[in-house]
Every structure is written in C-alpha cells, then in structure tokens.
Chains A and B, each alone.
Chain A
C-alpha cells in the first residue's frame, strides 16, 4: 500500500488557533487598562456562547464534537467579535452576535473550512445593522471619562443596563475618534482643529492607540511564529496608508493623516487578526496582496464617505465574496511552465 508520507511535522489546527488567541492577549491587556475590565466579561460571554453553539451545531450535524471544540476556532471567532463591539453593551448583544456568527455564518455554510465569510465579521455586521445605537455606544477611555466606571459598575451595566446612581450615560461614553472626526467634518471643521480635541492622542484615539499598538505587537508575534505570512498585514497597512496618504496630501484640512487611519478603529486588529482568517481569505501570495489592499481601500472609503464610522466588517465581507475570483486569477507560475 502506498500511503506515504509516514511522517508529519505540522502544528495542529488547534495549536495554530491557540497561538492566535495568545497573540490577542497583549491587546486585551491594553484594552482592560484603557477601558476597564468590562471587556473580560464580554469575552467570557462570547466564549461560552460560541462553545455551546458550536457543540450544539456539531451534534445536530452529527459531527465529532470533541476534536472540533478543541480546535479553538469557535473561541477565536468569539474573541474577535467581542473585541469589535462596545464592551459595555448589554450582555445579550454579544450572545446574539456570537450565536449568529457560529450557527449561521459558520455551521450553516458547512462548518470549519467551508465558511465563505469571516464569521466574526458577519456577526458584527448583523449587530451593527440590527442594533446601531448600542453598537456605537463606546465607553470613553477611563482617563477621559467624567466618571470612570469601576469593574463592578461595568458588570452591573452589562447585565442590568443600570448605571450607578447619578451617572449619566453620556458621562461614561464618548464618540470614537473616527466618529468624532466624521461628525466634526460634517460641521465644516478642519482636521487640524478637530484633532485638538481630548479624544485624540498622538497616533490615533487617546488610549485606544495603545490597544492598537498591542494588536500590532501580537500580530508581529504571529508573523514570527509563521502563523501568518507578511502578505496580508503588509498589503493592508500599506494600501490603507497609501490611499489615506493621497487624500491627505491633496487636502490635509479635510482628510486625516495616514498615521491616524492606521492606528484608529479596527485597523490593526483587521490587519493581523481578521483578514488573516485563512478559511475565508485567498490562498495565493499575490491574491493575499489584492485581497488585503481591497479591504483597506473599501474600509477607507466607508470611513470617509460611508454612513458608518468604520467600514472594516463590510469591506472584509465584500472582499470575501471576491476570494474565488482572486484565487483563480492569481495562480502562481508552476515550476517548468511559462506564465
């Protein structure tokens, strides 16, 4: 019988996913430091929901439960979604989003390896469209908030929706820099004066830039571990810098700098953790460049001209649709063949 090769040296799917979760830890730590511990609650809720939904779907689909639960792919989806939605949103928001991501976006399309769309981004898009108000109610960074919420307060807010006595919701939330920029630009203010507002930091949003910086760090770890290749993050960040740079050079009064775009919103999370989902992304090196650049350009256009402050999720979903096309047209030259 011919069943070679007899040896293998591959990390399991589980160990790959585990490393990705590990790479998210610095970002989560920075998140807690900047916004408080509420995100941990959201993460736990998302994880539990994901595991239950995954197990239920595997059982319904008569698949082995244990190996698939242990591959951490559902947990990763849950974490990415949790990190993408406001950490003080009511508990059921993340539960609904995670449930939708796992059940519909993942399992109804065939489960691990078969989903054409990034499940976390589908979950995010569903929540954003269904609950726009909740989805845009971001907490202010603790250092900026009029009345910083303690972890207990956040816990209370998440589960009961009640704020501590005498605290108004506006006192704990704040427009995100991208949001603030958009509304102020509509009021015909200039970028230069807008970014003087306290919500802006050196690179992106005050406080938030630390979180994005930590994502970058985690991403570099993934690259060093050869979990991801350089193509996707580099192409994404380069394309985002390039398109925002062109607009910025043409009219710096109306368009924010490339640096701001790179360190705002979900840019870094997207570059290293979201578009690097192998299942819903392209596989060829050239295809990865096109895909990532496409996401960057669409996300930027939504940020600048669209109805939402950030456009990563829609950009990713749109480019997911293009993956078969991209793959088909970016096949590398096979050894011994002309192009």
Chain B
C-alpha cells in the first residue's frame, strides 16, 4: 500500500511544476515562422566571421589573407580559459582579416575574418569520436577545438561548462527548450525536425557531466516539439524526462527554468553547478552531437527569420552569412521595414546596420516596422502602481530601482539588488506610464561598475603614495644615520692621525672596518626591516586575497557565475605570484640577517634608486589606468627598498615585468568576464 502511495508521490513530483513569481505572457507571434520547415540557404558570396562571437577572450587567428581553407577548418583558436574557437563555415580563400561592423548593440566594428567561398563547400576530414569509450577529460579537452558555445543566446563557451571531468557533482542536467520569447521558433523547429539529434546530444552531455537525471523543460505552446521529443526519447530508449511548463515569459531564463522543473532556487551568489545542476540549450546539445558523432565543429545554427518579411521561416545558416542573404531567402523585407532586431522583442537589440553577419548568438532576426513595434509613447511619471513588481520574475521592486537609478542613488539601488535584475523587460512591458525601466537599470549597472573601478584605482593610488612617502622618509633617516656614523668615524680617525701612525692604510682599514660595522649594523637593521617588510607583505597579500574575493563576489553579482572559473584561475595565479614574491623576499631577508649585507650601500644605491624611482613613476601612471596591474606592481615594489645591489634590482625588474604581463592578462580576462553580463544566464 505504502509503495503505491510512494509511487504516486513520485509520479506527482515528476509532473509537478514550481511556478516562479511574476512573469508576463506577451502575444507569442510564433505561428508565422513555423509554417515552413527549416530551410537551407545557398552558399553566400562572402562569409564574414567576427572573432568576438562568444563570451570571453578573442580567439587567436591562425590563418592569413590568401590562405585556402576547408569547411570546418579551425581558423582561430581559443585563447585563454574562457574563449572559443572559430571555424571556416565553408571552403574558400581568406580574403581579409580586418575590422567590420558586427551584430552588437554598440554598433562598433570589430576584428573579422572574411572568406570568399569557392562554392565547393569542401569539408575537412571529419573525425568522429567514440565518446562512449573515451575518457571524459580528453573529450572535454577536445571540445575546446569544437567552437561550441551556448546557442540559447548566451554564447558562453561550452567546454568550460563541461570542465567537470565527471567529478562535477552535477546530478541533474536541465535542458532548456522553453524558448519563452515571442517570435523566436528556432528551438521549436529544431525539436520538431531533429529530436533524435537532440536526444543523442543530451546523452553525450549527460555522459560528460556524469549527471544521473535529465529533465527537458518545454513550454506548453510547443506541443508538436514536445511530442517529437518524447517519441525520439522512447525510440532511443533514453532516460530523459520531459516537463511541460506553462507559457510564461521568462521561463527560458536558466534560473527560472530550474525553479520551474525542480523547485530549486539557485542562490544568487552561486552557479548552478554549485548546487549540482547544469543547464544546456537544445541547440547546444545538437552541436555536441554533431561534434562528437559526426566530427563537425560548430559552423552553423538555426535562425528564425521573421517579422516584417514576406515568408517568415527558420533557416540553417552558416556562421558569417550576411544577414541580408537570410532576409532575401525569406522573400525579402516588406516595404515599411525600418530596421532589424536581433533576438526577440523582449531582450533583443537593434542591429546597427543590415550589413552584419549571422553569428553564434543569432537565434532570431526580426524585420521591424512601426506597425509591428510602435514607438513607445512619451514616458509619464511613475504612479507607483507596482505592476512591475508583480511582473518581476526575480521579485525585485522595479519601481524603487527606477527611483534610485533616476536619482543616481546607486548605493540604494545596490541595496535593492539591482544586480539581480536579468533585464528581461517584463517590468517595462507592463508599465502603464511607458517608462523604459530596463534602460535605467542598464545605466545604473554600468555606472556602478565604473564607479567601483574608479574607486579601486583611487584606493590603490593612495595606498601606493602612502607607502612611497613612508619609504622616502625612512631612507632619509637612514642616510642621516650613516652621515652621523661617518662623521663619528672621521673624528676617530682624526684622533688616530694625531697619534702619528700612517694615515693611508689606516683610513682604508678603518673605512673597511666602518663599512663592515656599517654592514653589520645595517645587517641587523635589515633583518628588522625585512621582518617588517615581510609582515607588510603578509598583510598586503591578505588584503589582496580579500580584495580578489570581493571582486569575485562583485562579478558574481553581475551574474558572471558560469565564467567564474576564469577569474578563479587568475586569482589563483595571482596568489601564486604573491607567494613566490614573498618567498623570495624571505630568502633575501634571511641572507641579509646572516650578515651578507652588501657593502657601500648608500653609494651604490643612489643611481639605482633614481632609476627605480623613474620606473616607478612610469608604472604609477600605467597603474592608474590598470588597477590590477598596479596591485601586482605594488607587490614587486616591496622588494625595492631592500633591493640595493644591481643584480637584485634587475631581478626585481624582471619580476615586475612578468607580473605586469600577468596582470594585463588577468585584467583582460576580468574585463571579458564582466562583459558576459546577465545574458550568460540565458543559456
């Protein structure tokens, strides 16, 4: 009897949906683009592949102008931890590596590789992998060459999400097939037509993660897709659960979807993997399938071409295909088309021009017209009706955040969890006063990030200045002391000369003696100094650690969770560098304490010091621009006060140079990770 009850309970929980707060249900407008099957495009006359198609570092170009490349050939390789490779999407000749406008809200040009196709569409030799019998580690390593990124729009490199090598603690894999934004139907069509590829891809992802359970979340407005998926699952005998969730925007947001299907609320400061979960988009798992089972890298995706075009349809599009090519394939844009939107009407953005290529992030292109998207009426004052708060899927208070953002009260905005905002636009969608709320939040976020950076730089500059002043003061005292000692020695010598003994050798001797004395005393001094320096160093290291922790916290707040692995690495690297510097210093201090003090300290040090100061001044100016670099320089700087012989100085310079290089890299990585922004969440 009990077992029956238990089974019933299990059955119930399997069916159960855990709604999130808020959400909106805009007109779906999905039917238009699902009338026709996924179309294929002819090979375009040119392919423009931006290097920046994903979150993270720009990949390193491996071809040069004039090279002949085959379809699927790696033309740019992943650089650093968070990066993705880029492959030629057809065969042809590399005709340019230059700047061109990329599909990005900024509208700025960026580095692109242009290929003139030869029309043969000739593949490289495909190397499918026997993934079932391969080690997870090597599979994930090979994924770095696949160019696969999250195709739900987040474009986060997939190999990092899979870095787990089986010990990830990921017990449940959630497949995001919600596709909650209006107009977009690329995942819907993919599920209808290629459900078997999805199921096979899921099996691969599950194997790579070592996940016990897989749940696919599909909105109930895609019954055909869900049915196709279910039949493919039973055909392939896979252990995958399909959960139908109510159609409610933004159920396709990763955190919302996890809550919907599992009832788990991922803490704001944790990544999904930290609670044993991982989320993949359906299109991403298909890319996994194609890579491992067919040996095809990521060179194309399904794109919904819809809105104000003659025949809205989904197409399989090679990356780098000019967008207008796609528009033509859909019968061309209607006469009153004003511009094009990439993404959906809730979170998409205006394309700067129609002359942009299709990239990995392009899930949907909407031809916009005033009749489809009427320009918003002028904003009225907020009447505090709190409809936005009712609609917010994060349960924020948008009306308060608006108030704080508008009055530049950033501290308060932070207190009210501005950085938890996923910019889904539900608040603006329901605002009776037509206030562009999300724009205010974007503005406040960017201002807060900029202010934080400026503050960090100012703090470092102040710290460095304080330290420098203290050092100058100490050196002054040391010189004064030496002068005094010298004067005393001179007196003693004068006394000796009076006794009538030979002056010259004695002076030498006494000089030597003096120096030795000096050396000894400074040796003792140096030991003390070294101890102090070591203590300061320790304190600084602690502070740096604390700071890096808080920075990583800040980044967490900015929703860069999935990429945190990179900053973590950098932090680890930094910590190692700091430790190494400290060790070196301790060794030096020990040497000094043992009486190995260099002779003629003051004399030898003067020019060197001058040089150091020059270098330092230079660094300081750089350091102001690059706070992270300054942080590391500061650590190396500690060597200088004790660093009195030329050799050591050289060493310090080398160390500084290395540190600087590392810091630059770290800064670059950090900058990249910040860029990823909340979109990362929408895997």
**The stretch of A8-16, A119-127, A217-225, A260-268 that contacts the partner chain:** A8-16
**Which one of B68-76, B158-166, B389-397, B647-655 is at the interface?**
B389-397
| Contact status B376-A13, CB under 8 Å | no
Question: A80-88, A294-302, A325-333: which lies at the B interface?
Answer: A325-333
Q: Which residues of chain B are within 8 angstroms of A71 by Cβ–Cβ distance?
A: 380
A335 with B373, Cβ < 8 A, contacts A4-B347, A7-B346, A283-B399 known: no
Contact of B429 among A8, A278, A333 (CB under 8 A): A8
Interface of A is mostly: loop
Binds A, one of B263-271, B354-362, B454-462, B536-544: B263-271
* Contact in complex: A3, B436 (CB < 8 Å): yes
B434 and A10: CB pair below 8 A?
yes
Of the residues A1, A114, A283, A332, contact of B381 by C-beta under 8 Å: A114
A90 at the interface (CB under 8 A from B): no
**What number of residue pairs across chains A and B have CB atoms under 8 A from each other?**
139
CA distance A336 to B345 in the complex (A): 26
Q: Does B115 contact A (CB under 8 A)?
A: no
Tell whether, in the assembled complex, residue A13 and residue B432 are in contact, meaning their CB atoms are under 8 Å apart. Answer: yes
The verdict on A258 contacting chain B, using a C-beta distance below 8 Å, is: no
> Please, how many angstroms separate the alpha-carbon atoms of A283 and B26 in the complex?
24
- Chain A interface residue count, CB cutoff 8 Å, equals 38
Chain B 113-143 interface mask (CB, 8 Å, partner A; 1/0): 0000000000000000000000000000000
In the complex, A8 Cα to B376 Cα: how many Å? 8
**Looking across the interface, which residue of chain B has its beta carbon closest to that of A64?**
B378
Q: A2-B349, A335-B21, A335-B268 are in contact. Are A8 and B442 (CB under 8 A)?
A: no
Q: How far apart are the CA atoms of A98 and B388 in the complex, in Å? A: 31
Give A68's nearest chain B residue, CB to CB: B380
CB proximity of A112 to chain B, nearest CB, Å? 5
* Cβ contact within 8 Å between A284 and B384: no
Task: Decide: A4 and B438 in contact? CB cutoff 8 A.
Answer: yes
Interface membership of A111, Cβ < 8 A: yes
Partner of B395, one of A2, A6, A15, A333: A333
Task: Report chain A residues within 8 Å CB of B434.
Answer: 8, 10, 12
Bitwise, A65-84 to B at CB < 8 A (1) or not (0) is 00110010100000000000
Instruction: Tell me, in angstroms, the Cα distance from A13 to B259 when the chains sit together.
Output: 34
Cβ of B394 and Cβ of A334 under 8 Å apart? Answer: yes
Shortest distance from the beta carbon of B601 to any chain A beta carbon, whole Å: 58
Complex CA–CA separation, A334 to B389 (angstroms): 11
B39 CB to nearest chain A CB (Å): 25
Contact of B393 among A3, A7, A335 (CB under 8 A): A335
User: How many whole Å from A181's CB to the nearest CB in chain B?
Assistant: 36
Measured between alpha carbons, how far is A73 from B383 in the docked complex, in Å? 10
Please tell me which one of the listed residues A7, A281, A283 contacts residue B182 in the complex, with CB atoms under 8 A apart.
A7
Whether the Cβ atoms of A3 and B439 lie closer than 8 Å is: yes
B255 contacts partner chain A, Cβ-Cβ < 8 Å: yes
Q: Cβ of A9 and Cβ of B397 under 8 Å apart?
A: no
B268 touches A111 (CB 8 A): no
Is B400 in contact with chain A by the CB < 8 A criterion?
yes
Looking at the complex, which one of A9, A68, A73, A334 makes contact with B268 (CB distance below 8 Å)?
A334
CB-CB contacts below 8 Å: A98-142 with B = 111-114
- A8/B428 contact (C-beta < 8 A), A1-B107, A2-B349, A335-B420 known: yes
Output the nearest chain B residue to A276 by Cβ-Cβ distance.
Answer: B385
Set of chain A residues within 8 Å of B107, measured between Cβ atoms = 1
Q: Does A337 contact B (CB under 8 A)?
A: yes
Cβ A337 vs Cβ B267 within 8 A: yes
B345 is contacted by which of A4, A229, A334, A338 (Cβ under 8 Å)? A4
A331 with B416: CB separation less than 8 A:
yes
- Are the C-beta atoms of B393 and A1 separated by less than 8 Å? no
CA distance A13 to B432 in the complex (A): 5
- Across the two chains, which residue of chain A brings its CB closest to B339? A1
Given A8-B376, A337-B420, does the pair A2, B384 have CB atoms closer than 8 Å? no
**Which residues of chain A have C-beta atoms less than 8 A from B248's C-beta?**
none
User: Does B350 reach chain A (CB closer than 8 Å)?
Assistant: yes
Interface check B295, CB cutoff 8 A: no
Cα–Cα distance between A11 and B431 once the two chains are bound (Å):
8
Does A307 reach chain B (CB closer than 8 Å)?
no
Flag if B384 contacts A336 (CB, 8 Å): no
Q: Which residue of B is nearest A331, CB measured?
A: B397
In contact, B431 and A10 (Cβ under 8 angstroms): yes
Which residues on A sit within 8 Å (CB–CB) of B20?
A: 335
B339 to chain A minimum Cβ distance, whole angstroms, is 10
Interface residue from B377, B420, B425, B432 paired with A11 (Cβ < 8 Å): B432
CB distance from B443 to the nearest CB of A (A): 11
Residues B432 and A12 in contact, CB atoms below 8 Å apart: yes
Residues from chain A with Cβ under 8 Å of B216 in the complex: none
- Does the CB pair B373–A7 fall under 8 Å? yes
Residues of A near B468 (CB, < 8 A) are none
- What are 14 A-B contacts defined by CB distance under 8 Å? A5-B429, A6-B368, A8-B376, A8-B428, A10-B387, A10-B429, A10-B434, A13-B380, A113-B381, A113-B382, A327-B400, A334-B420, A335-B265, A335-B420
> Apart from A4-B346, A7-B346, A112-B380, what are 20 other A-B pairs with CB-CB below 8 Å?
A1-B107, A3-B350, A3-B436, A3-B439, A4-B343, A4-B345, A7-B182, A8-B431, A10-B430, A11-B432, A13-B432, A67-B378, A71-B380, A113-B384, A278-B386, A279-B384, A333-B395, A334-B268, A334-B417, A335-B395
Taking Cβ atoms with an 8 Å cutoff, the residues of A that contact B are 1-13, 15-16, 67-68, 71, 73, 111-114, 229, 278-279, 281, 283-284, 327, 331-338
7 closest cross-chain pairs (CB), A and B: A113-B381, A5-B425, A336-B268, A2-B105, A283-B386, A6-B373, A6-B345
